[in-house]
Amino acid sequence: MRTLLAIVISATIFWSAYWAIGAQRTKAETNAWLVDKNNSGVDIQVEDVSLWGFPNRFDVTLTPISIEVMDWGFAWRAAFLQILRLSYEKDHSVFVFPEYHHLKIAENEVEITSDQMRASSVFLKEKAHRIVLEAKDLHLRGTNFDVRFENAQLALLLGTDQNKLRLTLLSGNTASFGGPQRLSLSAEFASDQLLIDQDLTIFDVRSLRFYNISLQLEEKIMFQTSDTLGFADLFAEPVLLQAMQSVKMK
């Protein structure tokens, strides 16, 4: 009995020390990342960096946070951003967003609200980076639009020779004819930057070039082209805007 108790106590002490060292390293790496980004022209302002999650996770909370890159016309601010990771899984992180945050791209400002928004970031063995952003009861409000969806998912696959995007929007308008509708946009895209190396996918969206674009409403293909479109051109495509209006929640 004493031997078993000694083993349990020793294991507890060992794991506590392991977690404490890992937590200290994680917090130091977070602070170093903030300094590095600010030195590279990305203005990230954070008032507090806290870390919790004992015994199995390293959960970092940045409170509040704002990210701005003047050259890109990009700005994002929120009350907090949480980065969750299992202590033994360095290549997989989950990002938790608040119910409300504000985004600016070029001249477009968007207020974003949702019941739940999370993003999963996984670095795969085949030298690829997979990011999946999901939101429930998503409400986007800008100067020229005001749309709301029951569910939204944005999936990105970043690789050394190919990048793919898939955006899926689901309406919650069950009273409409045919019930809820699903809108899917898929495309490949390229950039002068090697996007797989971009942490938190902070890159200039204006530099992205989309091709092999397909827009589908339920089973019907609404738009399809192999031509190359820029970010602003793609998301200003009249067919896409009309389709988004048709599936938004009433």
**Does residue 38 contact residue 6 with C-beta atoms inside 8 Å?**
no
Give the pLDDT confidence score for residue 207 in this predicted structure. Answer: 81
> Domain range holding 36?
2-247
Give whole-number Cα distances, 40 to 33, 43, 72, 90, 202, in Å.
Answer: 11, 9, 13, 24, 12
Using CA atoms, how far apart are residues 100 and 79, in angstroms rounded to an integer? 8
Query: How many structural domains comprise the chain?
Result: 1
pLDDT at position 14 is: 65
What pLDDT score was predicted for residue 98?
96
Q: Which of 90, 8, 10, 12 is nearest to 57 (CA)?
A: 90
Per-residue pLDDT of the chain (250 residues; tens, 9 = 90+): 666 666 656 656 665 676 778 788 888 888 898 888 888 888 999 999 999 988 888 999 999 999 998 887 789 999 999 999 988 888 899 999 999 999 988 778 899 999 999 999 998 877 888 999 999 999 999 877 788 899 999 999 988 888 999 999 988 654 444 555 889 999 999 887 767 666 655 667 778 899 999 999 888 888 999 899 988 888 778 888 787 777 765 5
pLDDT of residue 175: 46
The whole-model pTM stands at 0.86
Q: 51-54 long-range contacts, Cβ below 8 Å, gap at least 24?
A: 51/23, 51/26, 51/27, 53/23, 53/84, 53/87, 54/16, 54/19, 54/23
CA distance 45 to 197: 22
Distance CA 199, CA 26 (A): 15
Cβ partners under 8 Å of residue 2, min gap 6:
none
What are the backbone dihedrals phi and psi of residue 207, each rounded to the nearest 5 degrees, phi first?
-85, -5
Give how far Cα 141 sits from Cα of 94, 100, 233, 242, Å.
25, 11, 19, 16
Q: What token pair was written down for 80? A: 């907090």
| Strand ranges inside the chain, DSSP E | 43-52, 57-69, 74-78, 81-86, 92-97, 100-105, 108-113, 116-124, 128-141, 146-159, 163-170, 182-190, 209-217, 220-225, 229-230
Residue 19 in tokens = 């977690």
How far, in Å, CA of 207 to CA of 225, rounded? 19
Q: Which pLDDT value is given to residue 191?
A: 83
